[in-house]
C-alpha cells in the first residue's frame, strides 16, 4: 500500500518529533516509548493511499470518499445543479483513508474554495459553515449532471487539497485530492426521476469502490 505524497511533510515531522520523544522516554523505561510509537504508526497510516480498481455498470456513481454515510437528503433546489437535487454526506474519521475520488467520469467545470469554520464534521451545520472546496463536474454520458463533490473540513482537518483544475478530465474513481485529518465529503446530483440511492445512513463506504447511487439510463426514461 502506498502513501499519499500530500502527507510527506507531516510524516517527516511526526517521525522526527515522535522519534525524538520515544528515544528520550526509552531512557527512562522502554515501555514509556510505546505510546509515541503508536501515535507515529497512526500518523503514517493516516496517509495510506491504496490503489483501487473496480468495475461498474452504466449509470452507477461510486463514493467520493471513505467513511460513514451521515446524510441522505432530497433538496428542492440546489443552485449548482439548477434544480432539485439529492445530497449524500460522508463523514471521514481520523482512521479512514482520506483521498477523494471522482464519483463518475466528467470534466471539471468549476473549482471554488470557501474559507469558513472548523465545526465537527458530524455536525449537520458543518457542510454550510465550514471551510470547503467545491468541484463541479460536467459528466459524461450516460450520467446526468452537473455533479458536485464538496470537500469539507472538520474539527481537526485544517487543509483541503485539490489537484483538479477547470478543464481537468476525471475518470470514475480517479483520485483528485484529499482532506487532512477528520472531515466530510458531500456528493450532490440532479434528482432525476428513477435515481436510486443504494446506501443508507450508517453505511460504511469506500471511495472508488462502493456504489453510492444509480441514475436511470436513457432507455429507462
Buried b vs exposed e over 70-106: b needs ≥16 C-beta within 10 Å? bebeeeeebebbeeebbbbbbbbbeebbbbbbbbbbb
Q: How far apart are CA 111 and CA 161, in angstroms?
A: 12
As given in the structure block, the three cell numbers for residue 134 are: 467545491
Active site residue 93: no
DSSP 181: S
Return the bridge partners of 196, or none.
214
* 175-180/67-78 β-pairing: unpaired
Which of the residues 126, 132, 153, 183 is marked catalytic?
A: 183
Q: Name the residues annotated as catalytic.
A: 183
Amino acid at each position: 500500500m502506498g502513501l499519499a505524497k500530500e502527507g510527506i511533510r507531516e510524516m517527516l515531522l511526526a517521525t522526527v518529533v515522535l522519534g525524538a520523544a520515544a528515544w528520550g522516554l526509552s531512557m527512562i523505561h522502554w515501555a514509556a516509548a510505546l505510546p509515541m510509537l503508536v501515535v507515529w504508526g497512526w500518523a503514517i497510516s493516516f496517509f495510506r493511499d491504496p490503489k483501487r480498481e473496480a468495475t461498474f455498470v452504466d449509470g452507477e456513481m461510486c463514493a467520493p470518499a471513505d467513511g460513514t454515510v451521515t446524510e441522505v437528503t432530497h433538496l428542492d433546489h440546489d443552485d449548482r445543479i439548477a434544480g432539485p437535487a439529492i445530497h449524500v454526506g460522508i463523514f471521514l474519521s481520523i482512521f479512514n483513508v482520506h483521498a477523494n475520488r471522482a464519483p463518475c467520469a466528467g470534466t471539471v467545470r468549476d473549482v471554488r474554495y470557501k474559507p469558513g469554520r472548523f465545526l465537527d464534521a458530524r455536525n449537520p451545520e458543518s457542510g454550510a459553515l465550514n471551510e470547503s472546496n467545491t468541484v463541479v463536474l460536467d459528466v459524461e454520458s450516460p450520467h446526468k449532471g452537473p455533479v458536485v463533490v464538496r470537500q469539507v473540513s472538520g474539527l481537526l482537518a485544517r487543509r483541503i487539497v485539490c489537484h483538479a483544475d477547470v478543464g481537468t478530465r476525471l475518470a470514475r474513481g480517479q483520485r483528485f485530492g484529499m482532506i487532512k485529518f477528520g472531515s466530510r465529503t458531500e456528493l450532490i446530483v440532479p434528482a432525476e426521476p428513477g435515481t436510486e440511492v443504494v446506501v443508507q445512513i450508517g453505511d460504511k463506504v469506500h471511495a472508488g469502490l462502493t456504489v453510492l447511487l444509480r441514475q436511470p439510463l436513457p432507455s429507462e426514461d
